[in-house]
A and B are shown apart, each in its own frame.
Chain A
């Protein structure tokens, strides 16, 4: 099956401060050579710690920040800079986004109905039809329309606001929805409601999700495939079950073992990593993870490991796993050792 959404070489450097000639003094390598693919109707999870570039990636895809480089292919149509490519802006009709801060992402001076109807109206839907659509979507996200259309955002709870934001994102019938930490700010009981809602909507509308989160458990629960980012780069990608069961990159392994226990008997005895993630302004040489990596060798500081295909849909950027990388004792990972997926369909 051809890839539905294919992102190649997405890149964004943010200049910091400019000298007298207008040249930037320093750059933050926020997103560097990020590539991934996803299939229609699937959920791609993007995990990583703060500053890893996962949110910037989302904004680059929506052209809210113009990318420095990269191209995006959606069903054979190529978007991006350059000739023969449509502007990324055109993706906005097919791709929508839900933000983390449910309050800031709604205009406080507009009613819920006006906020949801805004998108359709932009795309030429009549006032009446847009309002009807807003009512329909409110009903769909579990908010009784008669009680909510005339409300203002500050009159709603966080969970309700996030439902409104989801309705707003669906209002122009997108095929792909980017969920940027969309449930992270919600209380656990409300988070579960919204996750269930997202699963329902995905099944009903045949949506494709890009689910960006720092919460590994939630990402595992919702995702078919997962990519792990560290300091602006993809360090590992693969089917969710395989990646979680048998992480290839030491960083993925560390993230997983840093999760708090869910049973008192499983309490952690040591932290998997020392120190904080480094500053993306001056990232380490070679493999960006090497200063914190328990397996680091000289080669790791010199050469940046390429994202290498391991088979079974898995990729990793780590000298430890790549034959001929110059690492003293390459330990290839047996991707076949993991049982084939028991379920790859979307949760209903």
Chain B
């Protein structure tokens, strides 16, 4: 199957008043057509930065991007202003965590969707409105015709997120990027939006990259998963095998630290000690080594290339042993 998104050796560096921040270093990603990839990581792991790079949303004068990004056959990093504008929304679109900030508060939701359609397809305003209505039905907003003329603040949180999805999908993008789209939502609404995204992805044959910090959310939506830590992908593979038999000690730790239902109250949580490293220097060794229970001397040497076995990959110096250790470990209840 063809890859709709290919990221090769992506590095993103930000210039800040405190110096350079190496937010993403050497990320490789492939997304097959019609698949969903969950990018899992904690705050500061570089997951959102990677995502925004796919659409080149970073402020150019403060950001240095190296590597290669191909989306739907186009080299994103070499595109000029006009071509980039065509790519955004048409080939690749994004759903944000906080739809209230993504919508312009002074225009109705319907007008904002119509405007995007007019911009990309050069059709009439009326055709844009028709498409907006169609999209609102598609994302299962009740009484969509009425909601077209609603302002963002007049909608509830879940409704706004649906409208945001409608806006993102209005030009039938091939790739949908979802940046923690359900984090701000209530539990009963979160599951509705997750199911909606899963269904739309299947029905429209889109590919989706889903950024989340929540392992459960990733399991709900994704086929593939990539776990990020300190700007690198440290483990990658099908979501069911990665989540049931994690190889990398960080993935193991993340699952161990997650509270699951009916957990024994006497049991202590398996906390990962310490906190993620600062990214003010380029970390060449394993960034997780200082917190890793399996770390040995050689973990402080420059990190070897990723170890690929079958459909899975992990970046750990002690990989075969560590994965073996986890072989019989019960990390999630099943």
Contacts and interface: CB of A to CB of B under 8 A. Distances in A.
Interface string A155-198: 00111100000000000000000000000000111111101100
Contact of A193 (B187, B244, B260, B273): B273
B158 A193 contact: no
Given A158-B43, A192-B272, A255-B188, 8 more contacts: A195-B271, A196-B269, A216-B187, A260-B217, A262-B215, A262-B216, A263-B243, A343-B265
Interface in B232-285: 239-240, 243-244, 253-254, 256-263, 265-273, 275
Interface residues of A, number: 50
A258 B190 CA distance: 8
Contact of B259 (A160, A218, A270): A218
A215 B186 CA distance: 10
24 contacts: A50-B186, A159-B275, A187-B43, A188-B42, A189-B254, A189-B257, A191-B257, A192-B270, A192-B272, A195-B271, A215-B259, A221-B269, A244-B262, A260-B217, A262-B219, A263-B243, A263-B244, A264-B239, A268-B220, A271-B191, A274-B192, A276-B157, A277-B186, A279-B156
Interface string A254-266: 1100111111110
B213 A217 contact: no
Interface of A: 49-50, 157-160, 187-193, 195-196, 199, 214-218, 220-222, 244, 254-255, 258-265, 267-277, 279, 343, 347-348
B211 interface: no
B80 interface: no
B19 interface: no
Where chain A touches its partner, the secondary structure class is: loop
Contacts of B272: 189, 192-193
A173 B142 CA distance: 52
Contacts of A273: 188, 192
A189 B188 contact: no
B261 A258 contact: no
Interface of B: 42-43, 142, 156-159, 186-192, 194-195, 213-217, 219-220, 239-240, 243-244, 253-254, 256-263, 265-273, 275, 332-334
Nearest 5 pairs between A and B by C-beta? A260-B216, A192-B257, A49-B186, A187-B42, A192-B271
A244 B263 CA distance: 12
B271 A189 contact: yes
B254 A188 contact: yes
Contact of B192 (A49, A50, A157, A271): A271
Contacts of A217: 259-261, 263
